[in-house]
Amino acid sequence: MNETMLEDLTEIKEYIQKDSVYYANKTIADIYKRVENLKLFPNMGRYVPEFNSKEIRELIYKSYRILYTFNSKNIYILRVIHHSRNISKLETKIP
């Protein structure tokens, strides 16, 4: 997991826990479960329409977009963001 993803998850958790610690923890756990599925099915995500690249894909979990890329050995989670954010301006570095 990269530093940017961890920062994204921390921000998500802090925002949700203003209303509910339970749902904040559940949301983060559920996002991790979605990411775990990528180990078996890395092609399961769709291409991200905002990027002109076949390398960046996304999974959707509720209101969140999990941006990732992969190669034959690794899966890289680039960002986890709320769907309302403009991702075309986000920094996403492909390892």
Q: What is the mean pLDDT of residues 86-93?
A: 67
**Percentage helix, strand, coil, to 5, in the chain?**
40, 25, 40
**Domain locations in the chain as residue ranges:** 3-89
pLDDT of residue 62: 93
Asked whether 65 and 40 are in contact (CB, 8 A), the reply is no
Instruction: Say what the pTM is.
Output: 0.86
66-74 long-range contacts (CB < 8 A, ≥24 apart) are 66/31, 66/34, 66/35, 67/92, 68/35, 68/38, 69/94, 69/95, 70/38, 70/42
Q: What is the mean pLDDT of residues 17-25?
A: 97
Q: Give the C-alpha separation, 60 to 45, whole Å.
A: 8
Whether pLDDT at 32 is above 90: yes
**Domain 3-89, CATH class in plain words:** alpha beta
pLDDT band, residue 95 (cuts 50/70/90): low
